[in-house]
C-alpha cells in the first residue's frame, strides 16, 4: 500500500525554523516527483514546492528563499526545511506524490500542522 | 504567473441535481488540469486529470471537460457523499496553482 507519513510540525515563533519530513512507502520513491501542499485553517489549498526526479526543484513565490525541499533516496523521505517563518505560514502541510506523466497528485499524506505564533 | 479562478465559490443543490463547476485559467494551459475533492475534515482526493480523465475508483457521475483556458467539472447526479470543496489545479508548468475552491452543499 502506498503511504506518506508526515512529521515535524509544531508551534514555532515568528522568524524561527522547522523541518518537516515525509516518509514514503509502497512505491519506487526514486521514480516520482514529490510535493508539499499547504492549507491554512479554513482556507484553500496552496501548492508550496515540488522536487522532481531528476531533482528539478520548484517553489511558490510565497516561500522562495525561505523554504528548501530535498529528498533522501536511501530513506525514501522528502523534507521541507522552513526558515524565517511568518504567521501566514501557519497551515496544515500535506506531502503528496505525483502520479507521473502529468496525471496529478494522487496520494496525499494526512498532513502535519505548523503554527507560527508568538 | 497564471491565475486559476473557479466559479461559483459555493453552491447548494438537491440530491439528484446536475452540478457544474467552472475553472478558468488566465492563460492557455492546454489540458493540464486536475480536479480534487476535499470532504469536510478529510484529505484531498484526486478526481480527474488531463482535464477529462477519471482517476481510478472515482464514480462515473463525475466528469471533466475543457482545454485551453476554460474547464468544467460536472457531477451528473449529486449524492449526499459529494458534499465538500472542489479544487482545480494547473500543472502545465510551475507554479502548480490551485483554484480558490468551490464548496458544494446539499439543499
pLDDT tens, position by position, B76-104: 999 999 999 999 999 988 999 999 999 99
Task: For residue B32, give the DSSP letter.
Answer: -
B32: cell is 493540464
Minimum-distance CB partner of A104 among B85, B91, B95: B91
Given pLDDT bands bounded at 50, 70 and 90, which one contains residue B23?
A: very high
At residue A101, does pLDDT exceed 90? Answer: no
What distance in Å separates the CA atoms of residue B65 and residue A27, rounded to the nearest whole number?
30
Which residue in chain A is spatially nearest to B95 when comparing CA positions?
Answer: A60
Q: What mean pLDDT value characterizes chain A?
A: 96
CB distance B100 to B36 below 8 Å: no
Beta bridge partners of A47: A37
Which residue in chain B is spatially nearest to A46 when comparing CA positions?
Answer: B98
What distance in Å separates the CA atoms of residue A58 and residue A69, rounded to the nearest whole number?
9
Determine what percent of chain A is predicted with pLDDT higher than 70: 100
Minimum-distance CB partner of A104 among B43, B46, B101: B46
Sign, Cα dihedral of A72, A110, A44, B64: positive
Quick one: pLDDT at residue A54? 77
Q: How large is the average pLDDT for residues A82-95?
A: 98
- B50 CB neighbours in chain A (<8 A) are 102-103
Quick one: pLDDT at residue A8? 98
- B32 CB neighbours in chain A (<8 A) are 102
Q: List residues of B whose CB lies inside 8 A of any A CB.
A: 1, 32, 34, 36, 38, 43-46, 48-50, 53, 55, 85, 87, 89, 91, 94-101
What distance in Å separates the CA atoms of residue A103 and residue A27, rounded to the nearest whole number?
16
Quick one: pLDDT at residue A39? 98
- Strand ranges in A26-76 using DSSP code E only, listed in sequence order: 34-39, 45-51, 57-59, 67-72
- Strand ranges in chain B using DSSP code E only, listed in sequence order: 4-7, 10-13, 19-25, 33-38, 45-49, 53-54, 62-67, 70-75, 84-90, 102-106
A-B contacts (CB, under 8 Å): 63
Minimum-distance CB partner of A106 among B55, B85, B94: B55
In this predicted model, what pLDDT tens digit does every residue of B30-82 receive, in sequence order?
999 999 999 999 999 999 999 999 999 999 999 999 999 999 999 999 999 99
What distance in Å separates the CA atoms of residue A44 and residue B89, rounded to the nearest whole number?
12
At residue A12, does pLDDT exceed 90? Answer: yes
Quick one: pLDDT at residue A53? 82
Amino acid at each position: 500500500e502506498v503511504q506518506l507519513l508526515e512529521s515535524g510540525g509544531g508551534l514555532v515563533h515568528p522568524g524561527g525554523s522547522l523541518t518537516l519530513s515525509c516518509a514514503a512507502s509502497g512505491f519506487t520513491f526514486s521514480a516520482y516527483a514529490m510535493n508539499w501542499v499547504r492549507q491554512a485553517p479554513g482556507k484553500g489549498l496552496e501548492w508550496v514546492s515540488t522536487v522532481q526526479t531528476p531533482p528539478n526543484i520548484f517553489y511558490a513565490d510565497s516561500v522562495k528563499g525561505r523554504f528548501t525541499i530535498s529528498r533522501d533516496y536511501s530513506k525514501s523521505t522528502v523534507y521541507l526545511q522552513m526558515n524565517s517563518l511568518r504567521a501566514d505560514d501557519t497551515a496544515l502541510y500535506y506531502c503528496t506524490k505525483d502520479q507521473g506523466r502529468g496525471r496529478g497528485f494522487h496520494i496525499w499524506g494526512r498532513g502535519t500542522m505548523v503554527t507560527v505564533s508568538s | 504567473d497564471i491565475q486559476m479562478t473557479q466559479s461559483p465559490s459555493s453552491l447548494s443543490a438537491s440530491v439528484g441535481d446536475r452540478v457544474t463547476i467552472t475553472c478558468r485559467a488566465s492563460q492557455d494551459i492546454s489540458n493540464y488540469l486536475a480536479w480534487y475533492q476535499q470532504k469536510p475534515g478529510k484529505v484531498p482526493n484526486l478526481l480527474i486529470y488531463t482535464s477529462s480523465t477519471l482517476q481510478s475508483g472515482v464514480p462515473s457521475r463525475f466528469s471533466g471537460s475543457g482545454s485551453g483556458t476554460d474547464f468544467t467539472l460536472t457531477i451528473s447526479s449529486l449524492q449526499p457523499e459529494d458534499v465538500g470543496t472542489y479544487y482545480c489545479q494547473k500543472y502545465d508548468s510551475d507554479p502548480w496553482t490551485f483554484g480558490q475552491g468551490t464548496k458544494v452543499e446539499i439543499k
